[in-house]
């Protein structure tokens, strides 16, 4: 404990202190604004205590966008630091902290939140359900994620950020080499948010398997729902591994055990194995929902049913299985034998086959289609060549012998971003634009959206393609500076300019939200995109009960086929609707988890004990609590349906 107390101060940097002031002023402005407009009661009743899957999904997305800008600021700082040789903008320690927090924020708190947010909003609508199977568990999942994100983000203000990389490799993450409390923050923030993610996985598996509309067999589910089901199965199998690994790392750092040491029977390589047993399936936890989004969008804006529905489902299932059999390719250079490397090289190349099948399915869906280049479709079309380049470079990295040249260079950084940005970030922005009318009842401006897209697409290419060249020329990743003699300067400056163009694209997205909120018409129709799947059979924005009448499903394109062939989606009469009550318990529990994690980081045992007791007390209270929910009378349902354009019958 005395060891850590000496380091309980932020990293001494003007940037850190400026950020602290900016964050403090922003928080104060928000608090004063809410107080001035008397919105605390509204926020508590309608948002902070909500169990509505739609509002929880929107809160995930808002949090993800905030984390996108948080992680994006780190990215711009890294590109600025390496834009010229011998730059002194960041010192070595601060650079270590920046690239560590960038990776953690973008993977855990941006991409994961964006994926889960869209799943929360869309999946119950696509399967004809009024909510998820366990609404309160869903709320606890979100608030645990949020508590973990906030715990991680205060590390650079109090105690110092983690500095061992987003992979947190030991012995670098041990107290011998990482002497601040930063890695403690890493362990507890990811532990708390990971528990929430595991709950989400269980919740959505039950929701999809048990709450589908009548007639919706598994092979009639929309492709995004299929991707969500497979993703959550991966979550349930992968996240317990991370949970245990983080717990073992916590014991090593805070209680002196020797799980990941190189002495007293420990094995530091065990962390690498456990981390990547979770970590590579995590890549597909992010990318499979993106595949589902692209499938919906490409089908809609090509005006064709998705080509090869069965093969798309099968390829996702195969990818999910192979994702657990490739983890060693992340450390080919760390001393395995030729046989081990060969086996994992083959499995890594094999996973490219089902992925390639999906690329051809999307291309054949567009073949001879009546393509409309909306903003979501632009992201989807750009994704195909960019993701293919990322996949091809991935196969290059999969060759174990060649990986000795590529590994730990900027080539690997370029490959990873070449997969994640077109494959996940583009998909999330496409899905957000596509389902925006469902969320808020108006459309985002297409012209501004296209300007944002082109800035992101061009900026991406300029930012990351030069890294392939510098990586092959020997520029190591994680190095905070380099000499002029290397010749890396011009390409790194180009990469920095590309990052700046991408930043402009994200600013345009924010401006688009503001502009559209002020100027966009609110009556856009139930289906402004002429879409195909069931969620478009309800109103814009979606009422609290989703569907006035439970739909009857006859095909995988239920809504489109009902329009085209005259199928009757809604066959019953309007009735009273039962809905679950809101609850303040999830946010209270998350606050206690935050205190628990913060106290553990700094060995504040009184805080650990009291917050732990509080968590157990909340769980006990919930076990005795009766939640009969509330009824929406049929008269009120009719009024709502008429307000939004007539009852769905």
Token pair 């009842």 is at which residue?
441
Q: Per-residue pLDDT averaged across 160-167, rounded? A: 93
Task: Give me 492's structure tokens.
Answer: 């790194």
pLDDT per residue as tens digits for the range 68-86: 999 999 999 999 999 999 9
pLDDT tier at 287 (50, 70, 90 boundaries)? very high
What pLDDT score was predicted for residue 12? 65
User: What are phi and psi for residue 291, nearest 5 degrees?
Assistant: -60, -40
* Residue 140 resides in a domain: yes
Provide the 3-class DSSP secondary structure of residue 445.
Answer: coil
Higher pLDDT, residue 628 or 429? 429
What pLDDT score was predicted for residue 11? 60
pLDDT at residue 507 tops 50: yes
Strand partners, 632: 577
User: Taking a C-beta distance cutoff of 8 angstroms, is the pair 629, 523 a contact?
Assistant: no
Q: Per-residue pLDDT averaged across 114-119, rounded? A: 98
Among 20-24, 188-192, 297-301, 462-466, the range scoring the smallest mean pLDDT is: 20-24
What pLDDT score was predicted for residue 10? 56
Distance (Å) of CA 177 to CA 91, 93, 170 = 17, 12, 9
Minimal CA–CA distance to 107: which of 239, 282, 240, 234? 282
* Residue 153 resides in a domain: yes
Q: Per-residue pLDDT averaged across 528-538, rounded? A: 91
Residues 6+ apart with CB under 8 A from 204: 119, 123, 132, 228, 229, 232
The C-alpha atoms of residue 205 and residue 295 are separated, in whole angstroms, by: 21
As a dihedral over the C-alpha atoms of residue 146, residue 288, residue 314, residue 239, rounded to 10 degrees, the angle is -40
Q: How many residues does the chain have?
A: 649
The structural domain count of the chain equals: 1
pLDDT per residue as tens digits for the range 615-647: 999 999 988 887 778 889 999 988 888 877 644
Q: Sort residue 358 into left (φ over 0), alpha (ψ -120 to 50) or beta.
A: alpha
The C-alpha atoms of residue 132 and residue 354 are separated, in whole angstroms, by: 30
Distance (Å) of CA 184 to CA 103, 345, 499, 514 = 16, 34, 31, 39
Q: Per-residue pLDDT averaged across 171-183, rounded? A: 92
pLDDT tier at 190 (50, 70, 90 boundaries)? very high
User: Taking a C-beta distance cutoff of 8 angstroms, is the pair 520, 443 a contact?
Assistant: yes
Token pair 């985002």 is at which residue?
444
The C-alpha atoms of residue 161 and residue 155 are separated, in whole angstroms, by: 5
Residues 6+ apart with CB under 8 A from 392: none
As a dihedral over the C-alpha atoms of residue 4, residue 8, residue 13, residue 19, rounded to 10 degrees, the angle is 130
* Residue 295 resides in a domain: no
Among 200-209, 267-276, 523-532, the range scoring the smallest mean pLDDT is: 523-532
**Percent of the chain at pLDDT exceeding 70:** 97
Task: Give me 351's structure tokens.
Answer: 């996973």
pLDDT at residue 218 tops 80: yes
Cα dihedral sign, 139-145-151-156: negative
The C-alpha atoms of residue 67 and residue 455 are separated, in whole angstroms, by: 20
**Burial class (CB within 10 angstroms; exposed 0-12, middle 13-18, buried 19+) of 237:** middle
Domain hosting 84: range is: 1-287
* Mean model confidence pLDDT for the chain: 93
**Burial track 467-503 (b if 16+ CB lie within 10 A, e otherwise):** bbebbeeebebeebbbeeeeebbebbbbbbbbbbbbb
pLDDT at residue 401 tops 60: yes
* Residue 427 resides in a domain: no
The C-alpha atoms of residue 464 and residue 264 are separated, in whole angstroms, by: 43
* Residue 235 resides in a domain: yes
CATH number of the structural domain spanning residue 155? 1.20.210.10
* Residue 232 resides in a domain: yes
Among 8-17, 79-88, 263-272, the range scoring the smallest mean pLDDT is: 8-17
Residues 6+ apart with CB under 8 A from 77: 15, 89, 90, 98
Q: Per-residue pLDDT averaged across 575-586, rounded? A: 93
* Residue 268 resides in a domain: yes
* Residue 354 resides in a domain: no
Task: Give me 350's structure tokens.
Answer: 């094999």
Q: Per-residue pLDDT averaged across 39-66, rounded? A: 96
pLDDT at residue 491 tops 50: yes
Token pair 């856009």 is at which residue?
524
């Amino acid at each position: 404990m005395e060891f850590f107390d000496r380091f309980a101060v932020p990293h001494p940097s003007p940037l850190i202190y400026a950020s602290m002031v900016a964050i403090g002023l922003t928080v104060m402005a928000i608090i004063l604004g809410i107080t001035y407009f008397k919105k605390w009661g509204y926020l508590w009743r309608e948002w902070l205590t909500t169990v509505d899957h739609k509002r929880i999904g929107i809160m995930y997305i808002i949090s993800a966008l905030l984390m996108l800008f948080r992680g994006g600021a780190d990215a711009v700082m890294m590109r600025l630091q390496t834009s010229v040789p011998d730059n002194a903008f960041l010192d070595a320690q601060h650079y270590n902290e920046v690239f560590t927090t960038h990776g953690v924020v973008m993977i855990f708190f941006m991409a994961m939140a964006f994926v889960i947010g869209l799943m929360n909003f869309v999946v119950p609508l696509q399967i004809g359900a009024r909510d998820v199977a366990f609404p309160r568990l869903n709320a606890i999942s979100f608030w645990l994620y949020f508590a973990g994100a906030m715990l991680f983000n205060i590390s650079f203000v109090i105690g110092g950020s983690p500095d061992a990389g987003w992979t947190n490799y030991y012995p670098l993450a041990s107290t011998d080499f990482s002497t601040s409390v930063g890695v403690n923050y890493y362990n507890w923030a990811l532990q708390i948010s990971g528990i929430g993610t595991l709950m989400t996985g269980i919740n959505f598996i039950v929701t999809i398997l048990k709450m589908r509309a009548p007639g919706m067999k598994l092979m009639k589910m929309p492709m995004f729902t299929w991707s969500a089901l497979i993703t959550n199965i991966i979550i349930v199998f992968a996240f317990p591994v991370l949970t245990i690994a983080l717990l073992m790392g916590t014991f090593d750092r805070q209680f002196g055990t020797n799980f990941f040491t190189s002495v007293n029977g420990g094995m530091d390589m065990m962390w690498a194995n456990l981390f990547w047993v979770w970590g590579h399936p995590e890549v597909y936890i992010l990318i499979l929902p993106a595949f589902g989004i692209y499938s919906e969008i490409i089908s809609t804006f090509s005006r064709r049913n998705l080509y090869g529905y069965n093969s798309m489902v099968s390829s996702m299932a195969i990818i999910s299985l192979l994702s657990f059999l490739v983890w060693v390719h992340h450390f080919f250079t760390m001393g395995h034998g030729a046989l081990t490397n060969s086996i994992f090289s083959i499995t890594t190349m094999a996973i490219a086959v089902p992925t390639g099948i999906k690329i051809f399915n999307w291309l054949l869906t567009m073949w001879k289609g009546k393509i409309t280049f909306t903003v979501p479709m632009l992201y989807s079309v750009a994704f195909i060549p960019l993701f293919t380049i990322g996949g091809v470079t991935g196969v290059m990295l999969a060759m174990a012998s060649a990986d000795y040249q590529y590994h730990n260079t900027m080539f690997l950084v370029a490959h990873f971003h070449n997969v994640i940005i077109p494959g996940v970030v583009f998909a999330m922005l496409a899905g957000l634009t596509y389902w925006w009318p469902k969320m808020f009842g108006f459309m985002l401006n297409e012209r501004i959206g296209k300007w944002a897209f082109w800035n992101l697409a061009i900026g991406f290419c300029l930012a990351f393609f030069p890294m392939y060249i510098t990586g092959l020329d020997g520029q190591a990743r994680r190095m905070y500076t380099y000499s002029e003699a290397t010749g890396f300067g011009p390409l790194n400056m180009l990469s920095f300019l590309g990052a700046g163009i991408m930043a402009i694209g994200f600013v345009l997205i924010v401006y688009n939200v503001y502009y559209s909120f002020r100027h966009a018409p609110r009556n856009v129709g139930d289906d402004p995109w002429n879409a195909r799947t069931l969620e478009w059979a309800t109103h814009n924005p979606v009422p609290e009960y989703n569907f006035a009448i439970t739909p009857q499903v006859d095909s995988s394109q239920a809504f489109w086929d009902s329009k085209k062939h005259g199928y009757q989606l809604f066959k019953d009469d309007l009735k009273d609707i039962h809905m679950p009550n809101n609850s303040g318990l999830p946010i209270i529990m998350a606050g206690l988890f935050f205190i628990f994690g913060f106290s553990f980081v700094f060995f504040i045992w009184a805080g650990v004990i009291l917050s732990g007791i509080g968590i157990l007390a909340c769980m006990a209270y919930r076990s005795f609590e009766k939640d009969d929910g509330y009824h929406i009378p049929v008269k009120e349902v009719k009024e709502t349906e008429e307000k939004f354009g007539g009852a769905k019958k």
